[in-house]
Amino acid sequence: MNNPILRRGLAWLATLFAVHAACFLLVRGVRGGPFDQERSLPPEVEASLRQQFHLDESLWRQYGRSLGQVLRGDFGPSMRYRDVEVGQILADSLPVSLALGGLALGVALAFGISGGLWAAFRRGFGFSLAFRFMTSLFLAVPNFVVAGVGILIFSFILGWLPPAGYGSLRHWILPSFALGLPFAAQIGRLSRNAALEVLESPDFRTARAKGLPPGPLLFRHVLPQVLIPVSAFLGPASAGLLTGSLVIEQVFALPGMGAHFVQAALNRDYTLSLAVTLIYTALLGACTFAADLLAKWLDPRVEAI
């Protein structure tokens, strides 16, 4: 148990296991099934549906069945869209969500780090006030408002970008910015503070005094120090991105997992929402672990993995 990677992996599996058990119990314990509709089904039809989804078995057998399915990576048919396998829905929507999250993370890192460095190098009163104002603004407004104002300006007034939908590369620009900019603001603040510290440190002053050109100065002295707090923030940021993508996918009508999850929660589509909850848990664990490894690699003094 001394291998930290092994320990983290086991903790991750235990978390998934616990989440699955808790969700399963909650879902089965709840009254009102997915077959409740405005018009009640004939009893024979309902009975055969229940049989088809094994809802007539004992709780333990259902649990064993569900666990076995999850271990095989097969989540069974969706309870709402009955002709579709949950696995199929996930296979279609997970890449969309991952692409959105990845793009938003890219926006956050690119704009956050470059903005923070720029603000650190230009310390005029007006400029730093403007920087503080911009970061506070993006930290204060929820991402769907950023999205709405973005649609208003770039789609309806300027007409440059499509307001919603999915297909070409241009469809991704507004969603990834709307999702990424609040995190860019946070990363910008972190990297500005870190860079200011470096600029006042003796090693930076020495490097500059011996005539190092700005390029190596930036990449060898400033950037490594700036990346340390940023990498520590990536764990919480991945949780935030995941949450934010639920809303952004709704706003831009992207066929991602978040949109499916919200619909499944409202529709009481048990199999689908259980699968999505598990996948989000797994993703979050993997992302925080990757962020911790990155932090450790960038700064070997970091102990906790």
Partner 1 sequence: MKPSTQKRSLAFGLGLLLLLAGFSFLAPWLPLPEPESQALHRSLEAPAWWQNPILGTDLKGRDILSRTLAGARVSMAVGLWGTLLALFVGVPYGAVAGLFGGRIDRRMMRVADFFESLPLVVVVLFLLSIVQEYRAEMAAFGLQRIHLFYLAVGALFWLPTARVARAESLRLSQAPFVQAARAQGASRAWILRRHLLPNLAPSVLVMMSLTVPRVVLMEAFLSFLGLGVEPPAVSWGLLAAEGLAALSPLLGCWWVLVVPATAMALSLFALNLVGDCLRDRMQS
Q: CB of 243: closest distance to partner 1 in angstroms?
A: 4
- How far is 70 from 76, CA to CA, in rounded Å? 9
Using rule CB under 8 A, residue 118 touches partner 1: no
Binding mask 168-207 for partner 1 (x = CB under 8 A): ----------------------------------------
- Report the distance separating Cα 110 and Cα 1, nearest Å: 38
Per the listing, tokens 């707090």 go with: 229
Specify the residue for token string 């990677």: 5
Choosing from 69, 114, 155, 193, the residue that interacts with partner 1 (CB under 8 A) is 155
Q: Out of 194, 227, 228, 242, which residue is the one contacting partner 1 (CB under 8 A)?
A: 242
Contact map string, positions 1 to 20, toward partner 1, x by CB under 8 A: ----------xx--x--xx-
Q: Collect all residues with Cβ–Cβ distance below 8 Å to 117 and sequence separation of at least 6.
A: 191, 192, 195, 218, 222, 223, 226
Alpha-carbon distance of 44 to 143, in angstroms, equals: 47
Contact 75, 275 (CB under 8 A): yes
137 binds partner 1 (CB under 8 A): yes
Overall size of the chain counted in residues: 305
Residue from the set 148, 197, 207, 255 that interacts with partner 1 by CB under 8 A: 148
**CA-to-CA distance for 104 and 89, rounded, in angstroms?**
23
Residues binding partner 1 (CB under 8 A):
11-12, 15, 18-19, 23, 26-27, 30-32, 136-137, 139-142, 144-145, 147-149, 151-152, 155-156, 163, 239, 242-243, 246-247, 250-251, 261-262, 265-266, 268, 273, 276-277, 280-281, 283-285, 288
